[in-house]
Each structure stands twice: as structure tokens, then as C-alpha cells.
Amino acid sequence: MGCVHAKQDNPEKPNIVFILADDLGYGDLQCYGNPYIETPAINKLANNGILFTKYYSPSPLCAPARAAILTGMYNHRTGAIDVSSNRAIDRIALSYKTMGDYFKGDGYSTAMIGKWHNGLYDLQYHPNKRGFDHYFGFLNGIQDYWNWNLDLNGINVPADGRYLTDVITEGSLDFIEKNKDNPFFLFISHHAPHLPYQAPDSLIGKYLERGKGELNENVATIYAMIESMDYGIGLVVKKLEELGIKDNTIIVFTSDNGGFNLGDDKRYQAGLSGTKSIVLEEGIRVPAIISWPDKFHENTIVTTPVYGCDWLPTLLKLAGSSSDIIETADGFDISDILMKEGNNAIEKRIMYFQKNRYHPVAHSDAAIIEGKWKLYWPGISETMGKESKDNASVWNGATERHWEMPCDTIIPLWRGAVPFPPILFNLAEDPSERYDLSAKYPGIVDSLTNKWNLWFSDVMNDYDKSWKEIKTAEKERWSITLDKNK
């Protein structure tokens, strides 16, 4: 272990390390019951802090989920409702502040290392313009783990033979070392275990052997990717310890959305149904852990429902901020729960979900959870598909250096789509969502439907404003560029 440095000059402001995995499902960690995988660093975080059993991502898809986490607002309000960056629908409208903006405004050094995916073909949406002093990562939604091209504050960094997860870890360690004497907010945005499924051969072989007859190569590779990420998280914690700042650092670990279920693959899902991109439990219920030595109780399990929009107001409150967003965010400040003081309002909270392609459609892949009840509308088939023309740019961006280009903002509106009848689940008795109780409890169905409809109308009013803002910015950006090129 290296030498221990003096503590920071401003200890009343805790450092914050927010670690976000990509497509990590509820059953993908050892501390959540996975019988195959080894995740000792994440296990240790849970043992030293708080593990949530009912943490929900705001969306089952990455760009919308990330927008909600970064802003504390329902993703519809921000304009980020899907992943196709070439259609500008992954962008957070410029009128919304991000975690980077808020913590920078409170005197923190801010950084994001890893995946962005909230606006990339117009550098107005670059992380350096969204509150992050330092950015090292990739703006695209997908990156090759070996043949990558990364962005270092606007400068291209080509692949050098290292594994992408290790590069993200090393970039994080470098930022911590350089900012050890001042309060910092570090957002480590891992790509693992998102496809393409690539990992060091030795780790893949380990899981093929361990799950012989049970795990195929896809799942063995996914677990290898997760173990590699876990190792890097261990190095981050070790660095904080070596610098003598771990006790004054809040560490959050969670996922943007659930795991991708490949059908025949036997990826452990802890009994949950569904997959990434769908608002059944596997798509939205994900791991979440928070640790702050000497402040939070150790080895604690919280069963209170927690939501991705909660992180921003909670972390700002814990950092002593007086920002208005603590009260005005869609998420709740859950700091009292973390301090074991309880909060009846949060126990009784309602959580809303909705995700389909291109333009939000009421009652397509939608859900509301209130207490033990979950009302779910299956996705309307024509609203769920992605147009093939939107795939070329994202896959080119997996290996090519970043570029800017105009986006096609003419998107399908799905007028006339007919919803399926809703399905009612009792999550307390049926977390696997097997039994439809809608016929037995029509009053509950009507009540939840009315509440969901009011929510959707509210967020869509803001979505319309944000989408208009995004389209206007896009038009102005490229008309100005074309004029300059005349």
C-alpha cells in the first residue's frame, strides 16, 4: 500500500464517487444471490454500507435512464426518451442542469469517466459543456472493448491495446490522485456488461468451467466483464484508502437498467421476469449500493422503494448543498432513510415508468407501482421496433473516432396505436409477475390507471417543450455551420 496523504482541506464537503454499470441486472452480482459470479469489491461495498432490494431505474433503456439520474427529473421532461443518437432523442435539453452542473456550482471538481450517450453529434451536449470539468470516455452508446476510440476533453485518444474497462478504471484513479486535496464529484460510467460481449480470455474460461453445462459463452463473457469491472472498483476504493480520503467519500454503485435476456442463455435473474428495454421487473429493478464510512450503518439492507431520480437531491443534501433541486426534483431526498431515520412519505411513494421507441405513447410498455401493486401495459408492437437505418452510425461509433453530424429529427409519432389491456401484479406475493389480478381488483386497476394518466400528461407537457428546444438547437447549429461554410 502506498503512502497515506493528509486529509482534504475541506472535510465538511464529502467527495462523491458515483459508479454506474451498463445493463447490469438484479441477479448479476454475488451479493444479490448470483451463484456463479465473484464480485468481492462490490460485496465489500455492500458489507460496509447499504444495499437496496427495491431500487428502480427510471427507464429500462440507457440514455433515458441516464438522463433521469443526471438531472433528478423524469427522463420525459428532459427530452431523452430513446437511444438513437442520430435522431437526437438521447439528448438532455440544454435548459436542464446535470449532476456535473450542480456539484460544480457547489465548488466541486467534477469529472465523468466512461460512457456518456446523452447527446454526441453536437458538441453543445458534450460532458464538458454539461458541468463536467474533466471528461475521458466515449460519447456513443456502444464502444468496442479492445478497438476503442475515446474522447479526452474533446481530443481523440486511440486504442493502445488495453481493455476498455481497465482504461476507465485507470482514468478514474488518475482523476482521484490529481484532485485528492479538494472536494470532487466523480461519475464513473462503466460500459460493462453492455454488448459487444468481450472480455479477457482467462476470465471467460473461468466462467465456462465454473458453469459447465449451465452457462454458455455469452453468459460466461458477461460474468467475466462484470468481474473485470469489480476488480477496477476495488482499485478505486483502494486508492481512496491510500490517499486517506475514503472516510470522507460517499460511494454509490448502481446500474442504468436491467440485463439483456438472450432467451436461451441462463443468465441468473433472481426470479425476475422480462429483459432490458421492457418495464417488467428485470428491465427496471437493478442493484444499488451506497457507502459512507462512519456516517451510514454497515451491512444494512433497505427494502424501501428507491428510484433513480433520488440520487441527485440526496447526494446534494448529504454534501450540504442548498440547491433548489433538492426540493423541486422528481426524485426524493432519501438521506433520512440512509441515516436510519425513516420516511413514511417515501414508503408510500408512487413510481412511474414508460418506454417505447422514438415518441412516447401512452400505455405502451408502461407501468405504475404503488405499494405492493404494479399495473403494467405491454408494449404496442409497432411502437417498440427500431428502424434499421439507425444502427449504422452507432456501430461505426463503436470503433471510429467521434464525429459531428446533423440529426434526423423527423420521428414516428405512432398515432392510432391501440394499447393492450393492463395487467395487475401483486409484487409482494408475485415478484416474478406471473399472475394477472386485474379481473379480481378492477377498482385498483382504475385507480392506478387514473394516477398514471395524470403523470403521463404532466411529463409530456415538458417533453413537448424539451423536444421543441432540441429541434430548434439542432436547426440553428447546422444552419450556422452551413452559413460559415459558404
Q: Is residue 7 assigned to a domain?
A: no
Residue span of the structural domain in which 22 resides: 15-346
Read off the pLDDT band of 484 (50, 70, 90). low
Task: Using the 3D structure, point to which of 291, 317, 346 is the last residue of a domain.
Answer: 346
Residues 341 and 467 in one domain: no
Q: Is residue 275 assigned to a domain?
A: yes
The more confidently predicted of residues 92 and 8 is: 92
Contact 426, 372 (CB under 8 A): yes
Does 12 score more than 90 pLDDT? Answer: no
* CA contacts within 13 A on the Cβ side of 330: 24
CATH number at residue 358: 3.30.1120.10
pLDDT at 483: 63
Read off the pLDDT band of 486 (50, 70, 90). low
Write 383-388 long-range contacts (CB < 8 A, 24+).
383/356, 383/357, 383/358, 383/414, 383/417, 384/356, 384/357, 385/357, 386/84, 386/357
pLDDT at 3: 36
List pLDDT tens digits, range 315-337.
999 999 999 999 999 999 999 99
Q: Is residue 446 assigned to a domain?
A: yes
Q: Is the dihedral of CA 230, 233, 237, 242 positive or negative?
A: positive
* Sheet containing 423-426: order of strands: 350-354, 366-370, 373-377, 423-426
Residues 307 and 410 in one domain: no
pLDDT at 205: 97
State pTM to two decimals: 0.96
Give CA–CA dist 352/348, Å, rounded.
13
Does 9 score more than 90 pLDDT? Answer: no
Q: Is residue 5 assigned to a domain?
A: no
Residues 38 and 150 in one domain: yes
Does 5 score more than 50 pLDDT? Answer: no
Q: Is residue 233 assigned to a domain?
A: yes
Contact 400, 150 (CB under 8 A): no
Q: Are strands 373-377 and 366-370 parallel, antiparallel or unpaired?
A: antiparallel
Q: What is the mean pLDDT of residues 197-202?
A: 97
- Give, as one character, the DSSP assignment of residue 411: -
Q: CA dist 307 to 254, 285, 485, Å?
A: 11, 9, 46
Residues 375 and 328 in one domain: no
Contact 62, 256 (CB under 8 A): yes
The more confidently predicted of residues 201 and 344 is: 201
Read off the pLDDT band of 402 (50, 70, 90). very high
Residues 264 and 368 in one domain: no
Query: What percent of the chain has pLDDT above 70?
Result: 95
Burial class of residue 83 in the structure, from the number of CB atoms within 10 Å of its CB (0-12 exposed, 13-18 middle, 19+ buried): buried
pLDDT at 1: 32
Residues 354 and 339 in one domain: no
Task: Using the 3D structure, point to which of 324, 346, 368 is the last residue of a domain.
Answer: 346
Residues 240 and 388 in one domain: no
Which element (helix H / strand E) includes 157?
A: strand 155-158
Residues 314 and 385 in one domain: no
The residues, ordered by sequence, that sit 6+ positions from 196 with a Cβ below 8 Å of its Cβ are: 142, 144, 145, 398
Residues 473 and 334 in one domain: no
Q: Is residue 247 assigned to a domain?
A: yes
Q: What is the mean pLDDT of residues 263-290?
A: 94
Number of domains present in the structure of the chain: 2
Give CA–CA dist 129/90, Å, rounded.
16
Task: Using the 3D structure, point to which of 346, 380, 406 is the last residue of a domain.
Answer: 346
Does 485 score more than 80 pLDDT? Answer: no
Q: Is residue 10 assigned to a domain?
A: no
Give CA–CA dist 352/346, Å, rounded.
14
pLDDT at 344: 67
Does 294 score more than 90 pLDDT? Answer: no
Q: What is the mean pLDDT of the chain?
A: 95
What amino acid is encoded at 15 in this protein?
N
Residues 315 and 456 in one domain: no
CATH number at residue 145: 3.40.720.10
Residues 313 and 418 in one domain: no
Residues 368 and 253 in one domain: no
Q: Is residue 9 assigned to a domain?
A: no
